[in-house]
Chain A
């Protein structure tokens, strides 16, 4: 079982460049989430998708967009990267809200 797969694992961007972080899960989970993790800040919710066809903002959505492509895939897009978006990004999924999430192994993004 792959669980939650994130690509790429590492990325360096120049300020103003765009990119899409990919996430796929093979557990037939309904809900998917994007978090960012910064030193001393813990994990903060960027966007989530409670079910296929829906997306909603989390705590820190500015500068990001998401797409729930189908039940398996949930992508995060940075349209114009900024140094403040340097972080580790985690995708997670669960069958039902309030249950334990399964996390991917993260994408380490540096914006220079």
Chain B
């Protein structure tokens, strides 16, 4: 099946720093999504990307859908303590006979040191 390689696995940064994480795949996707998960909660959608090359912002968050459709990145500017959590990328492509549903990366664990 499709696999997403998400990196880095974890990040230890200082408050106020910018953060960058990315996902790559050997397969193309039609949709790239970025989620954040807080402890004890389900993932919450941050940004959705539906077109190759698309660059979308949501406050301090910016994400891009790679032109090859095989990668995406998420940037967080001027990190604050509430940014702590696990960030997941997810990709989707309509498939004829295979299992449908989003394919998720394994997550980037963001830890912010005051």
Contacts and interface: CB of A to CB of B under 8 A. Distances in A.
B102 A101 contact: yes
Contact of A48 (B33, B100, B106): B100
A103 B41 CA distance: 9
Contacts of B40: 105-106
Contacts of A53: none
Nearest to A45: B101
Interface in B70-100: 88, 92-94, 99-100
Given A59-B1, A100-B33, A45 B99 contact: yes
Contacts of A56: 99-100
Given A57-B99, A100-B48, A43 B43 contact: yes
Interface in A34-73: 35, 40-45, 48, 50, 56-59
A33 B106 contact: no
A97 interface: yes
B106 A99 contact: no
A40 B63 CA distance: 24
Interface in A65-112: 90, 92, 97-106
A42 B23 CA distance: 13
Contact of B92 (A40, A50, A92, A98): A98
Contacts of B88: 42-43
Contact of B101 (A42, A58, A103, A106): A58
A28 to B, nearest CB: 17
A42 B2 CA distance: 13
A4 B44 CA distance: 12
Query: What are the 6 tightest A-B residue pairs by CB atom distance, in nearest-first order?
Result: A103-B42, A42-B106, A100-B45, A43-B104, A45-B101, A98-B92
25 contacts: A4-B42, A33-B101, A42-B88, A42-B105, A43-B102, A43-B104, A48-B101, A56-B100, A57-B99, A58-B99, A59-B1, A59-B99, A90-B43, A97-B92, A97-B100, A97-B101, A98-B31, A98-B93, A98-B94, A100-B48, A102-B45, A103-B43, A105-B40, A105-B42, A106-B40
